[in-house]
């Protein structure tokens, strides 16, 4: 497989991920809100790194979750307890990533919001 086709496949997968997964609207909206907050509050370089890594973690976890769900649906269209466990654990990975991202956002933005309101 050539380097060009590898990138073509990856960008096609990214497009499918962005356009076909409803949860992405939530994640991307919150990511944009966090990035806007970083810009408005002039956060430090280390905070930018934490914010960007958190966003990447959530989006990557969601992409893996979506992939596992699609693969599981191909393997077993009807209800199957093993497939349900796989889907639930995969969803838990997204939840963990989202909670970590929330914690990062709270550490970065709560003191700034508090200072702004005080």
Condensed to tens digits (0 to 9), the pLDDT of residues 48-82 reads: 999 999 999 999 999 999 999 999 989 887 888 88
Contact of 39 with 31, CB cutoff 8 Å: no
Contact of 64 with 90, CB cutoff 8 Å: yes
Candidates 3.90.79.10, 3.40.50.300, 3.40.1280.10, 1.10.287.3610; correct CATH number of 22-117? 1.10.287.3610
Q: List pLDDT tens digits, range 77-107.
A: 788 888 999 999 999 999 999 999 999 999 9
Q: How far apart are CA 29 and CA 35, in angstroms?
A: 10
Instruction: State how far Cα 97 lies from the chain centre.
Output: 7
> Looking up tokens 């393997």, which residue turns up?
75
Sign of CA dihedral 46, 51, 56, 62: positive
Q: How far apart are CA 116 and CA 97, in angstroms?
A: 28
The domain spans of the chain are 22-117
Contact of 89 with 48, CB cutoff 8 Å: no
């Amino acid at each position: 497989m050539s380097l060009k086709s590898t990138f073509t496949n990856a960008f096609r997968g990214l497009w499918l991920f962005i356009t076909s997964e409803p949860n992405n609207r939530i994640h991307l909206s919150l990511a944009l809100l966090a990035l806007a907050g970083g810009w408005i509050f002039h956060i430090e370089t280390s905070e930018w790194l934490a914010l960007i890594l958190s966003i990447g973690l959530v989006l990557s976890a969601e992409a893996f979750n979506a992939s596992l769900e699609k693969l599981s649906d191909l393997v077993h269209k009807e209800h199957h307890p093993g497939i349900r466990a796989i889907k639930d654990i995969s969803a838990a990975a997204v939840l963990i990533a989202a909670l970590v991202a929330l914690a990062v956002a709270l550490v970065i933005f709560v003191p700034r919001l508090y200072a702004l309101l005080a």
